[in-house]
C-alpha cells in the first residue's frame, strides 16, 4: 500500500469509523508525505481528540504556514513554497486526492495545523471546500464544541457543522 492509499480521505474515514482517528493523524503527520513528526509527537503526547473527516469551507481557515510575506507563523521561502504547490497542482490534475487537512479550533477561529500546501493548492485550483480533521485539546473541549455547533454524541463522520 502506498502512502497515498494509506493516508487518503477513505483511510481517514475508515479510521474514524473504527475509533482510530487519533492514530491515523499521528501516523500521517510522521509520514514522508507530511514530514511533520514533531507535531505528530506533540499531538500523541497531548491527549488530543479529533472529529472528522468533515467537509469545511476553505475561507474559514487561517493558514499557519505560507510564502514569505504572508501573515503566517511559519514563513517558507517563496521559491520553495511555489515549487511545492505547483507539484501538488500537477498531482491533483493527474488524479491525486489530497488527504484531509488538520485543523484546530481556538477562540472561534480555525487554524490550519497541517496541510498548508494542500490548502493553497486547492484554493488556487478553485476549490471552496476541503475535507478536514478537526483537532481538540481533549474530550471536554470536543464535546462542548459539538454541542454548540449542532452535533452531539453521534458518529463524527455523519457530523455537519453549523455556526452558532
Mean pLDDT along residues 14-35: 86
- pLDDT at site 147: 87
108: left (phi over 0), alpha (psi -120 to 50) or beta: left
Q: Residue 163 falls within a domain, yes or no?
A: no
Q: Residue 80 falls within a domain, yes or no?
A: yes
Q: Residue 145 falls within a domain, yes or no?
A: yes
Instruction: Please give the residue that has the higher pLDDT: either 96 or 32.
Output: 96
Instruction: Quote the crossing angle between the two packed helices 21-30 and 37-46, to the nearest 10°.
Output: 150
Q: Are 93 and 15 spatial neighbours (Cβ–Cβ below 8 Å)?
A: no
- pLDDT at site 156: 42
The region of weakest confidence among 19-23, 38-42, 72-76, 110-114 is 38-42
Q: Is residue 52 predicted with pLDDT exceeding 70?
A: yes
- pLDDT at site 1: 56
Mean pLDDT along residues 41-68: 86
Domain that holds residue 43: 3-158
Q: Is residue 158 predicted with pLDDT exceeding 60?
A: no
Mean pLDDT along residues 139-150: 85
Number of separate domains in the chain: 1
- Share the mean pLDDT of the chain: 84
Q: Which of 48, 58, 1, 57 is nearest to 25 (CA)?
A: 48
Q: Which of 7, 4, 3, 18 is nearest to 100 (CA)?
A: 7
Q: Is residue 139 predicted with pLDDT exceeding 90?
A: no
Q: Give the burial class of 45: count Cβ atoms within 10 A of its Cβ; 0-12 exposed, 13-18 middle, 19 or more buried.
A: exposed
CATH number at residue 91: 3.90.1530.10
**Tens of pLDDT, residues 82-111:** 999 999 999 999 999 999 999 998 888 899
Amino acid at each position: 500500500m502506498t502512502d497515498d492509499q494509506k493516508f487518503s480521505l477513505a483511510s481517514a474515514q475508515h479510521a474514524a469509523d473504527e475509533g482510530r482517528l487519533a492514530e491515523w493523524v499521528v501516523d500521517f503527520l510522521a509520514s514522508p508525505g507530511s514530514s511533520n513528526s514533531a507535531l505528530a509527537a506533540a499531538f500523541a503526547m497531548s491527549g488530543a481528540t479529533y472529529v472528522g473527516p468533515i467537509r469545511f469551507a476553505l475561507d474559514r481557515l487561517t493558514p499557519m504556514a505560507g510564502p514569505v510575506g504572508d501573515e503566517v507563523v511559519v514563513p517558507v521561502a517563496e521559491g520553495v513554497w511555489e515549487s511545492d504547490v505547483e507539484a501538488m497542482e500537477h498531482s491533483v490534475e493527474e488524479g491525486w486526492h489530497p488527504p484531509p487537512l488538520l485543523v484546530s479550533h481556538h477562540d472561534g477561529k480555525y487554524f490550519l495545523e497541517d496541510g498548508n500546501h494542500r490548502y493553497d493548492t486547492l484554493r488556487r485550483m478553485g476549490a471552496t471546500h476541503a475535507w478536514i480533521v478537526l483537532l481538540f485539546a481533549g474530550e471536554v473541549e470536543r464535546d462542548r464544541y459539538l454541542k454548540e455547533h449542532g452535533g452531539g454524541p453521534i458518529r463524527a463522520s455523519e457530523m455537519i457543522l453549523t455556526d452558532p
